[in-house]
């Protein structure tokens, strides 16, 4: 269809190759390239560091929660005595005075 | 190959000095290829830097040093293609339409008649870049690599990772489309865009 243009196109493309020689790189080509490499490197590194901090904080939080959950259990695990009994243990005379309880031999303290 | 395989292996293992050497050896050639592909001197260095940046971060994926050059060409083609697609989205940055005078100048140059050397070169550059802007980025890149850069079919096979027959078909079609655009430019130099 456009066969007559084929040789013309070949000549034109060859002339284009001649008209576009390889350009010389700028003086700052390598420093700019390295700064771009380092800039891209710094993003994953920052994210990695942030990730490590997050993992450590999560682990510490989990440990704290486990301790928190375990400690009330240990306190409530042996409520074998009542409140009144506990009071009597801590101060037996005071409790007995209010309750007007008898001593072991059956005498009232208020006699 | 412009460099020995040992240098590529060292760069692959993370040796910065070896990578520096690889860039220094290939940068001029890559700059030239990009200049002829994108046709915008002010952006050539940026695209070339993108190529070497991608090289740095993907060098560990290189199977064997023997395939380094087609692989580098592949990175170049991809970076140029990305650039062209970005440019296409900016209508204000399209190349200016050709005037009849420019077409006549390029036509005369193709026939070997020219007056001033630099003026002739500028005319050829502008004409070919305008001509190639009438076809797709894929056609433009393929034809430039084959007809302007002078890559063989074997080399193109390695770059595009397709077999020779598929490549020949693609090349033929790309050439036909460029010829059609060439004919249209010759018939109506300043009205090509309006007719599209």
* Residues B56 and B118 both lie in one domain: no
Q: Do B57 and A40 touch (CB under 8 A)?
A: yes
B86: CATH: 1.10.1740.10
Which helix (H) or strand (E) segment is B97 a member of?
Answer: none
Which of B94, B113, B145 is where one domain is finished?
A: B94
Interface check for A27 against chain B (CB to CB < 8 A): the answer is no
Q: How far apart are the first and last CA of chain A?
A: 136
Render B99-167 in DSSP notation, one character per residue.
Answer: PHHHHHHHHHHHTT--SSHHHHHHHHHHHHHHHHTTS-HHHHHHHIIIIIS---HHHHHHHHT--HHHH
Angle between helix B153-160 and B68-88 (nearest 10): 70
Would you place residue A83 in the very low, low, confident or very high pLDDT band (cuts 50, 70, 90)? confident
Nearest CA in chain A to B147: A13
B39 & B117 share domain: no
List A residues 33-72 in contact with B (Cβ-Cβ < 8 A): 33, 36-37, 40
Check residues A71 and A20 and name the one with the higher pLDDT. Answer: A20
Contact at CB, B183 and A5, closer than 8 angstroms: yes
- Does residue B113 share a domain with residue B71? no
* A54 min Cα distance to partner chain B (Å): 27
Minimum mean pLDDT range among A17-26, A65-74, B107-116: B107-116
pLDDT digits (tens, 9 = 90+) for A30-47: 999 999 999 888 776 667
Asked if residue B65 and residue B34 are part of one domain, the reply reads yes
Q: Which of B65, B94, B123 is the last residue of a domain?
A: B94
Q: How far apart are the first and last CA of chain B?
A: 43
A28 touches chain B (CB under 8 A): no
Residues B88 and B34 in one domain: yes
Output the CA–CA distances (angstroms, integers) from residue B153 to A51, A105, B68, B78, B101, in the order listed. 48, 118, 17, 18, 36
Identify whether residues B89 and B156 lie together within a single domain. no
Cα–Cα distance between A54 and A46 in angstroms, integer? 12
Same domain (yes/no): B141, B46: no
CATH number for B114: 1.10.10.10
What's the total number of domains in chain B?
Answer: 2
| pTM to 2 decimal places | 0.69
Write out the two tokens for B30. 């890559």
Instruction: Indicate whether B87 and B99 sit together in one domain.
Output: no
The number of CA neighbours under 13 Å toward the Cβ of B159 is 20
Instruction: Answer yes or no: do B191 and B133 share one domain.
Output: yes
Which of A15, A22, A30 is facing B23, going by the closest CB pair? A30
Domain that holds residue B53: 1-94
Instruction: Let me know whether B72 and B127 are in one domain.
Output: no
Tell me if B124 and A23 make a contact (CB, 8 A cut-off).
no
Q: Indicate if B18 and B59 belong to the same structural domain.
A: yes
pLDDT in tens, B178-190: 999 999 988 776 5
Instruction: Compute the distance between CA of residue B109 and CA of residue B106 in angstroms, rounded to an integer.
Output: 5
B169 phi-psi bin (left φ>0, alpha ψ -120 to 50, beta other): alpha
Mean pLDDT score, B152-165: 92
Same domain, B76 and B118: no
Residues B86-95: what's their mean pLDDT?
63
Q: Which of B45, B63, B94 is the last residue of a domain?
A: B94
Task: Note the ipTM here.
Answer: 0.79
CA distance, residue B168 to nearest chain A CA (Å): 16
């Amino acid at each position: 269809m456009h066969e007559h243009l084929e040789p013309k196109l070949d000549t034109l493309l060859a002339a284009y190759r001649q008209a576009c020689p390889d350009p010389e790189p700028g003086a700052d080509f390598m420093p700019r390239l390295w700064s771009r490499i380092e800039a891209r490197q710094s993003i994953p590194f920052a994210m990695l560091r942030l990730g490590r901090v997050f993992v450590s904080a999560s682990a510490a939080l989990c440990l704290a929660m486990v301790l928190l959950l375990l400690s009330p259990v240990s306190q409530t695990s042996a409520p074998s005595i009542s409140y009144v009994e506990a009071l009597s243990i801590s101060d037996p005379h005071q409790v007995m005075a209010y309750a007007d309880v008898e001593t072991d031999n059956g005498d009232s303290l208020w006699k | 190959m412009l460099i020995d395989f040992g240098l590529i292996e060292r760069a692959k293992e993370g040796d910065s000095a070896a990578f520096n050497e690889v860039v220094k050896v290939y940068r001029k050639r890559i700059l030239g290829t990009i200049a002829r592909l994108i046709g915008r001197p002010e952006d050539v260095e940026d695209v070339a830097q993108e190529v070497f940046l991608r090289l740095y971060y993907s060098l560990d994926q290189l199977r064997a040093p023997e395939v380094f050059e087609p692989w580098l060409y592949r990175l170049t083609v991809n970076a140029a293609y990305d650039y062209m697609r970005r440019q296409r989205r900016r209508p204000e940055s399209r190349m200016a339409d050709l005037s009849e005078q420019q077409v006549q100048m390029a036509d005369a140059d193709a026939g070997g008649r020219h007056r001033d050397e630099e003026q002739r070169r500028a005319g050829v550059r502008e004409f070919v870049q305008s001509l190639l802007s009438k076809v797709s980025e894929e056609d433009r890149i393929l034809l430039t690599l084959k007809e302007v850069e002078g890559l063989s079919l074997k080399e193109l096979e390695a770059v595009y990772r397709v077999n020779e027959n598929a490549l020949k078909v693609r090349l033929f079609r790309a050439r036909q489309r460029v010829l059609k655009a060439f004919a249209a430019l010759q018939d109506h130099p300043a009205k090509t865009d309006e007719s599209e």
